Structure 1
């Protein structure tokens, strides 16, 4: 009920449209219910004139027929207008919800995404909101009202035409209620299974597409296909069981009740006729039979709409579950970074409670210095960068930028003067220019060109017919790894940050390209504080200080020569790499 009320609350954004649409819907339903009365008058006129051997006047027939046909056409036209208004309103509400959940997703902490497949998150934002649009706002919320109005209106009209028949038909109401409750109880778990299986198939498909080369190299196509088939079979089973229930509790049961009640009404009327007390005209008989049949059609539709309602509730629960995930508390204070001095003071951090990743981290970096972070996988290098960006906050200690505790300032301002180049460069669909500027209006084309020149990407750009306006497909797959990395460097440099972070930035670049980037970085590092995470120690030999991490602790700290003189872990790593390079 909570999800239902919450979904219903969004109608306020288009309440005027819904009010007009529902009003037209009610008028259309009223005209539909009233139309058989005109038909009965036509039937009574013809039968009476025939019984009394009177002439049937064509103009009267045409008048009745035009009235009847006019009501039907008017009802359809008004219903059509109502559908358009409500459809447009439903589309707008779906857009509003989709925008809200998308915006909320972008403000969620990075830890939220640690164990959640991207496809499952996108399924909630795109697929589930589409289910809400179609099944709740466009169909259920309006169609249920329409069907209820038709049922109530038909009952009222039936009682007015024949009180015995109308009141007797009220006995069907408890049956309808039990019918509805039983259907909802049976269909609810199936709808949960259906939405989860759709989400899982989205996730599996995205994973296969992203890792297509790995799947084929290791010849796991059959295994992946089996996993997908298993999930697909779960989807099929849930849909098949839903079809069985629908066919049994909607069409078959509805048809059985409809035919049975119609037969009983005909038997009742036949008994009155044989006893010579039938006081109904032919037109009234037409209305009685028509209304008895009309009661079952909307009730059947209401039962069928419960499937949509259940699907909408499941989708709504999934969407609101994501929207209710708390975002990180943030300060309204803006951090102003002028120099780019960085200090870690007694920092302790763990991603999970009781699992410490960084232990008593202490170091300071002056403006314009370059710091190399080295260590084996899992030693804590990337965790230091995550803390610097405030993707996470330490459980103890302080991180200072220009002497200011970053925890006391909002995250956006902390990151505003930072740039990063990742080990796996990520490019977005668009152009080379849009990937460098990130659609920031303050970054001009001249600034883009300047960044390209500084990172040594000019030869690459000059080879392209459209230059910086060359389209980039998803993740930049049409470009080589080195080209993507150069664009990523240009993106960082164009933003002119005070602090640069290079996270294994040269690990996927050939020697020639590495030399170009190293030269460019020596130029643009001037006046900027730079952190370099590297496995190849040759990339940080000129760093002002090198921090060697081991199991989350700083084991060695100094410049390249100082660490070699220690003849410790760093020296051992350096000599091993030097030896490997000469082989």
Structure 2
């Protein structure tokens, strides 16, 4: 019920369209209910004239028939107009919900995405909101409203024509209420499970597509097919159970009830003879049968659309679950970054509070210095950078930039003067230029080209027919790994940040390209505070300070020459890499 009320609250965002659509629906329902009254008049007049051996006034019949056709046309036109208004409003509401979900996703902390596949999140934003549009807002406005109006109007008309029949038919209301309650109770878990299965299928499909080359190299096609078929079979089993449930509640039994009520009505009418004269006119019998038949049509329609409404409620619950996630808390205090001096003051951090991955990290970086971070996988290098970007906050200690504690500053302002190049460069669909500028219109074409040239991407530009306007497909798959990395470098350089982070940025680049980038970096990092996470120690030999991390602690600290002199773990790593390079 909570989800239902919340979905209804979105109708208030489009008051004009829904209000006018509701008004036209009332007109449509009213004229639809009134039109049989005209038929009753015609039947009664004809039957009375025949019984009295009187002449039938055909002019009158033609006039009443023309009025009947006019009412019918008005009903059809207002019904169609209300459908269009409701449909337009429903699309606008679903767009609003999708926008809200997307905006909320942008506000969630990075930790929210740690254990959630991208396919499941995108399914909530795209698939579930589409289910809401089609199954709830379309059905609710176009079907539920008009049919509820029809039921209410018919009951009023029945009471006016025959209070006895109207009161008798009130028995149907608690019956259908219990019917719906039983159905909802049975359908809710089924539909919730269905949406989860669809989400799992989305995630699995996305995972297979992203890793298609690995799947084929390791001959895992059969394994992936089996896993997909198991999920797909679970979807089919769920839908079969849902169809059986819908069949029980929506079709056979409801038709039986309709026929039973019609039989009872005719049986009752058959008892209404006084001295051989039927107590109801032919027109009244016609309209009673018409209204009862018409009463069941909207009731059965309401019953039959319950499966789709239940699916919508399951989707709505998933969307609202995301919307109700606690957004990343932030402050309005901006970080003023001028020099780029950084201090890690006895910082301890863990993704789980009692399992620290960084322990008492304490060091200082002067403006313009280059810091090298080395250590085995899992030593805490990337976690340290995550803290610097305020993707996470430490449990103990603080991080200072130009003397300001970043935990007290607005996240956007903290990241505004930072640039990063990741180990796996990510390119978006668009052009070379859009991937360098990231839609920053203040960056000119000349600056884009200059940034690309500085990182050594001039040969790439030379071979592209459209230059920086060459199209980039998803993830830049038409480019080599080295070319993608060069574009990622140019993206960071075009931003002109005061703090630069290179996270294993040269690990996927050949030796020749690495030397080009190393030369470019020596130029562009001047005046910038630079962090370099590196497996190749050759990329950090000129660093002002090198930190060797092990199990979240700083084990060694100093320049390349100083650490070699200490002949510790760093020196051993350097000798091993030098020896490997000889082969």
TM-score class, shorter-chain normalisation, is over 0.9
Pick which of 7-16 and 570-579 moved more.
7-16
Structure-2 residue corresponding to 1:42? 42
Q: Distance in 1 between the 2:260 and 2:347 partners?
A: 78
Deviation at 1:61, TM superposition (A): 2.8
Q: Any idea what the Cα deviations from partners look like across 1:501-528, whole Å, max 9, x if unmatched?
A: 0000011111111111111111111111
Q: Distance in 1 between the 2:36 and 2:246 partners?
A: 30
Q: Distance in 2 between the 1:515 and 1:398 partners?
A: 36
Residue 225 (str. 1) matches residue 230 (str. 2): no
Large movers: runs of 4+ above 4 Å: none
Q: Distance in 2 between the 1:63 and 1:187 partners?
A: 51
Q: Distance in 2 between the 1:253 and 1:54 partners?
A: 47
The DSSP-based 3-state class of the residue aligned with 2:164 is: helix
**What does 1:246-265 align with in structure 2 at a 5 Å threshold?**
246-265=246-265
**What does 1:401-412 align with in structure 2 at a 5 Å threshold?**
401-412=401-412
Give the structure-1-normalised TM-score.
0.97
Structure-1 residue corresponding to 2:355? 355
The DSSP-based 3-state class of the residue aligned with 1:479 is: coil
The DSSP-based 3-state class of the residue aligned with 2:379 is: coil
Q: Distance in 1 between the 2:275 and 2:478 partners?
A: 88
Structure-2 residue corresponding to 1:206? 206
Q: Distance in 1 between the 2:66 and 2:462 partners?
A: 75
Deviation at 1:57, TM superposition (A): 4.0
Q: Distance in 2 between the 1:399 and 1:500 partners?
A: 16
Deviation at 1:498, TM superposition (A): 0.4
The DSSP-based 3-state class of the residue aligned with 1:309 is: helix
**What does 1:505-520 align with in structure 2 at a 5 Å threshold?**
505-520=505-520
The DSSP-based 3-state class of the residue aligned with 2:464 is: coil
Structure-1 residue corresponding to 2:91? 91
Q: Any idea what the Cα deviations from partners look like across 1:235-288, whole Å, max 9, x if unmatched?
A: 212221221122221111111011111112112222335962412222111101
Deviation at 1:377, TM superposition (A): 0.3
Pick which of 411-420 and 58-67 moved more.
58-67
Structure-2 residue corresponding to 1:70? 70
Q: Distance in 1 between the 2:189 and 2:149 partners?
A: 29
Q: Distance in 1 between the 2:185 and 2:79 partners?
A: 32
Q: Any idea what the Cα deviations from partners look like across 1:51-109, whole Å, max 9, x if unmatched?
A: 34444444333222222222122111101111111111111111111111111111111
Structure-2 residue corresponding to 1:146? 146
Deviation at 1:182, TM superposition (A): 1.3
Structure-2 residue corresponding to 1:164? 164
Q: Distance in 1 between the 2:328 and 2:122 partners?
A: 21
Residue 416 (str. 1) matches residue 393 (str. 2): no
Q: Distance in 2 between the 1:182 and 1:321 partners?
A: 25
Q: Any idea what the Cα deviations from partners look like across 1:136-180, whole Å, max 9, x if unmatched?
A: 222125532322221121112112212222222222222122211
Q: Distance in 2 between the 1:28 and 1:226 partners?
A: 53
The DSSP-based 3-state class of the residue aligned with 1:166 is: helix
Q: Distance in 1 between the 2:528 and 2:515 partners?
A: 20
Residue 365 (str. 1) matches residue 373 (str. 2): no
Quick check: 1:125–1:319 contact (8 Å CA) kept in 2?
A: yes
Structure-1 residue corresponding to 2:399? 399
Quick check: 2:373–2:547 contact (8 Å CA) kept in 1?
A: yes
Quick check: 1:22–1:142 contact (8 Å CA) kept in 2?
A: no
Quick check: 2:557–2:563 contact (8 Å CA) kept in 1?
A: yes
Quick check: 2:452–2:487 contact (8 Å CA) kept in 1?
A: yes
Structure-1 residue corresponding to 2:332? 332
Structure-1 residue corresponding to 2:186? 186
**What does 1:480-499 align with in structure 2 at a 5 Å threshold?**
480-499=480-499
Structure-2 residue corresponding to 1:280? 280
Q: Any idea what the Cα deviations from partners look like across 1:466-504, whole Å, max 9, x if unmatched?
A: 110111111111111011000000000000000110000
Quick check: 1:140–1:305 contact (8 Å CA) kept in 2?
A: no
The DSSP-based 3-state class of the residue aligned with 2:278 is: coil
Q: Distance in 2 between the 1:376 and 1:81 partners?
A: 68
Deviation at 1:386, TM superposition (A): 0.4
Structure-1 residue corresponding to 2:550? 550
Deviation at 1:2, TM superposition (A): 2.0
Q: Any idea what the Cα deviations from partners look like across 1:16-71, whole Å, max 9, x if unmatched?
A: 22111111111111111111111122222333333344444443332222222221
**What does 1:447-466 align with in structure 2 at a 5 Å threshold?**
447-466=447-466
CA 1:450–1:275: 2 relative to 1, 3 Å? farther
Quick check: 2:272–2:280 contact (8 Å CA) kept in 1?
A: no
Figure out how many residues of one structure are paired with residues of the other and give that number. Answer: 583
Pick which of 33-42 and 480-489 moved more.
33-42
The DSSP-based 3-state class of the residue aligned with 2:336 is: coil
Quick check: 1:456–1:520 contact (8 Å CA) kept in 2?
A: yes
Q: Distance in 1 between the 2:249 and 2:273 partners?
A: 35
Q: Distance in 1 between the 2:561 and 2:409 partners?
A: 38
Q: Distance in 2 between the 1:73 and 1:244 partners?
A: 39
Residue 526 (str. 1) matches residue 502 (str. 2): no
Q: Distance in 2 between the 1:530 and 1:273 partners?
A: 101
Residue 563 (str. 1) matches residue 563 (str. 2): yes
Q: Distance in 1 between the 2:579 and 2:464 partners?
A: 40
The DSSP-based 3-state class of the residue aligned with 2:305 is: helix
Q: Distance in 2 between the 1:274 and 1:242 partners?
A: 52
Structure-2 residue corresponding to 1:115? 115
Q: Any idea what the Cα deviations from partners look like across 1:529-560, whole Å, max 9, x if unmatched?
A: 11110111111111111111111111111111
Pick which of 352-361 and 67-76 moved more.
67-76
Q: Distance in 1 between the 2:498 and 2:403 partners?
A: 15
Q: Distance in 1 between the 2:61 and 2:142 partners?
A: 36
The DSSP-based 3-state class of the residue aligned with 2:271 is: helix
Residue 195 (str. 1) matches residue 195 (str. 2): yes
Q: Distance in 2 between the 1:88 and 1:128 partners?
A: 19
The DSSP-based 3-state class of the residue aligned with 1:465 is: coil
Quick check: 1:131–1:311 contact (8 Å CA) kept in 2?
A: yes
Structure-2 residue corresponding to 1:106? 106
Q: Any idea what the Cα deviations from partners look like across 1:351-375, whole Å, max 9, x if unmatched?
A: 1021011111111111111111000
